[in-house]
Amino acid sequence: MTQPVMHLRLEGFEGPLDLLLDLARAQKVDLERISIIALVDQFLAVLDQARRVRLELAADWLVMAAWLAWLKSRLLVPQDPAEELDAEALAAALTDRLAELDRMRLAAAFLGGRQQLGREIFARGAAENLRVEDRSGLNADLPALLQAYAAARRRALARRPYAPKHRKLWTVQDALARLGGMVGALPDWATLTRFLPEGLTDPVERRAALASTLIAALETARGGGIELRQERAFGPILVRRSTPMEEALPDVRAA
Amino acid sequence: MSEQPDAPEAAPGADAAADPALFAHALRIAEALVFASDRPIAAAKVQQALPPGVDARAVLTSLLATTAGRPVELVEVGGGYAFRTAADLAPALTRVVEVPRKLPRVAMETLAIIAYHQPVTRPEIEEIRGAALSQATLEALLEHGLIAPRGRKEVPGRPSLWGTTPRFLEQFGLQGLGDLPRREELVNEPGGLFQAPRLQAGGQPQG
Amino acid sequence: MSEQPDAPEAAPGADAAADPALFAHALRIAEALVFASDRPIAAAKVQQALPPGVDARAVLTSLLATTAGRPVELVEVGGGYAFRTAADLAPALTRVVEVPRKLPRVAMETLAIIAYHQPVTRPEIEEIRGAALSQATLEALLEHGLIAPRGRKEVPGRPSLWGTTPRFLEQFGLQGLGDLPRREELVNEPGGLFQAPRLQAGGQPQG
C-alpha cells in the first residue's frame, strides 16, 4: 500500500496498447481527430511517473515508449517531406490498431451482454436418447471361427504334460530278417535303401532304419551271404547275393 | 386434474389458488425447471424456485394435467418429476441402430469345436478345449440358433449330442460343412496323442 | 398422399396444409424430437422423422410461433432448432440451478477477436490486443468448447489457426456468425469512438 496509485494503475493495463487506448478515450474526440502527439506525451508522462516510483517496466512498454518518442520527433520536425509522409502513415496505422482493439472490446462487451446458455438460458437437462440399439445380430465370420478352433486346440495341447514322441525303431534283428528274406530274390546289384521297411515318412525313423539295415548288411556280408559295394564316397551302397562262380571278378576289378 | 380452483378446503395451495397470476407464474417456473434439470427433480427442489406461498405439489399436479397428451409429458419417476416424450411418438422418433455383437471367446471356440467334431457331447467338448464349459455358453449358442441337439450318446449318463444348424452355415457363409478347411490345416495335432473322438468334419461333406 | 392431382404447382407445405391432421401429427413429432435433444437439431434431421409430404421448415416455423411465450420456447440457434427456457425465468431458475463462473475479461476479448478474425493465429491475437496471451486463456476457451483449431497457417513456425465452434453460437444464442454486430456497428455512437469504455451492447443483437 506504500506504492502509489500509479503502480496499481499500470498493472491494470493489458500492455501498452491498452493504456494508449485508455488515454485516447480520455481525449474524448473522434478517431480521425485524435492527437497522436498529445497521446505520446501522455503515454510518456505515465511511464515517467511509473519510473519515479521504481516500478519495473516490462520490455514491451519500453519498446513502445521509444517508438512513440521517435514517432513524435518525426511528426514535429521532419527532415524531409518523404519522412513526414512516412511518419503520418505510421501514426495512422497506430490509430487503426487502437480502433480495432476498441472494436474488439465492444464485441466482447456485446457477447458479455448476451444471455448465455447455462447461465440465464437453459437447455434440456436430461437429453433423451432416441436411438435404439438392435443387438440381436451376430458379428462373427469364418476366419474368426477358424482362429477360435486353432486357439482352443493349441491351448488344450499346451496344457497336456510333455510326452516324448513314440518312435517305431527298426532293429538290427528286423533288418537282418528283412534282408535275408529279400536278398534271395535279387537278380543283380540293388541299392541298400531298397531293403528299408515301407511307409517310413518320419525322417528320424528313416535314418534309424537305414543305420540298422547297414549294420545288418555288414553282418550278412561278413557271413558271406552277400556282397557290398560303394563306388565313391557317399555314393549309394549296392548289395547283391554272393555267387561263388564270379568270386574272382571283384578282385580283377580291384586290380 | 386434481385441483379445483374453487375448492376452499385445499390446504397447501389455498393462497396460491387465490392469486391465479402467481400460480400461473409458478407453473412457468416449474415447467422450465423440470426441463432444465439433468435428472428427475424432487418437489422440494422445485419449491425452492417458486415464489413464496405457492405449493410445489399443487403446481406439479397441475402441470401433470396440462402436459398430458402433449408430445412431451410430465411424468413422475424415481421420486421426482421429469419430461418424457409421449410413448405414441416412439415409432416416429426412435432410430434403430444395428449393433451386432461379438460372440465371447469361449462361445466361439465351443462353436468351432462343435462344427469340427459334431455330433459331440459336452464332456467331449471340454476334453477337446481342455477346459470346463459352462451351461450358459451352450445356451447362448442355442439362443443364436447356431447349434441344436442331435440325440443322445449311448454311454452312461446318455449325454446330449450337439451339432451345428443351417443358421450356422448361413452365418459363416458356408455351403456345407465340407467347406470348412480340414483340421490338419489349422492345427498340428500330434499323431498318437490325441485321438479324435469323431472322424474329421472336413472329411465328410454331408449337406 | 403427397401430391394433389389438381394442384401440381403447390408449394412444399401446401399439400400438408391440405391435411390438417397430418400436419398436426408432424407438429407433435417435431416438438418431441427437438425437445428430446439438448443440442440444436437441423431442419434436415427433423425432416427425416416427419411423414412424407410434410415440409419440416413449415412445421418448425409453426412451432416457433406456437411455443413463443411458453416457459420453454423453440429457438433457432447455431444452425438448428432447440428448446430453451424463456429469458424472463432466469432469476427464478438460477436460484436453484448452479451457474458456472463467468469467463474472465481477457478470455472474452480473445473470444471476440477469434470470432471476428477467424481463422486467426495466436500471434495475430496478441498483435491485436497488444499484449501476450496466456496459454491458460486459450485452454479455458477450448475447454468450454467455444473455439477449435482450424488447421495451421503456412508461415514459418506453422502456428495453429483458431476459429469458433457451433457451441459458441449456442452459448450466446446466435443463429450464425452473421448475427454478430457488423464491424461498422462496433464503431458506435457519433460523438466519440472512445467514449463508452464498456458499453452494454446487451440484450438485443442488431436491428
Tell me the per-residue pLDDT of C94-145, one tens digit each, with 9 for 90 and over: 888 888 888 999 999 999 999 999 999 999 999 999 888 999 999 999 999 9
> Do residues A187 and A240 lie in contact, with contact meaning Cβ atoms separated by under 8 Å?
no
**Chain C residues within 8 A of A125 when measuring between CB atoms:** 38
Whole-number percent of chain C with pLDDT over 70: 81
Q: For B115-137, how does the pLDDT look when each residue is reduced to its tens digit (9 = 90+)?
A: 999 999 999 999 988 889 999 99
Backbone angles phi, psi at B83, to 5 degrees: -95, 140
Helix (H, G, I), strand (E, B) or coil at B77: strand
**Is the separation of the CB atoms in B47 and B76 below 8 Å?**
no
- Examine the pLDDT at A237 and tell me if it is beyond 70: yes
d(C-alpha A175, C-alpha A187), whole Å: 20
Residue C9: per-residue pLDDT: 42
At A168, list the grid cell: 517305431
Using CA atoms in the order A46, A50, A52, A57, what is the torsion angle rounded to 10 degrees?
-130
In this prediction, the answer to ipTM > 0.90 reads no
- CA A179 to chain B, closest CA, distance in angstroms equals 29
Interface test with B, best of C25, C27, C28 (most B CBs within 10 A): C28
Q: What does the pLDDT average to over A176-201?
A: 81
CB A105 within 8 A of CB A20: no
Cα separation, A18 vs A11, in Å, equals 11
Closest residue on chain B to C89 (Cα): B29
Task: Say how far apart CA C172 and CA A112 lie, in whole Å.
Answer: 9
CB-CB contact of A213 with A159 (8 Å): no
Could you tell me the pTM of the whole model? 0.64
Cα gap B164→A143, rounded to integer Å: 17
Q: Which residues of C touch B70 (CB under 8 A)?
A: 31
Give A 67-126 residues with CB within 8 A of chain C: 97, 99-125
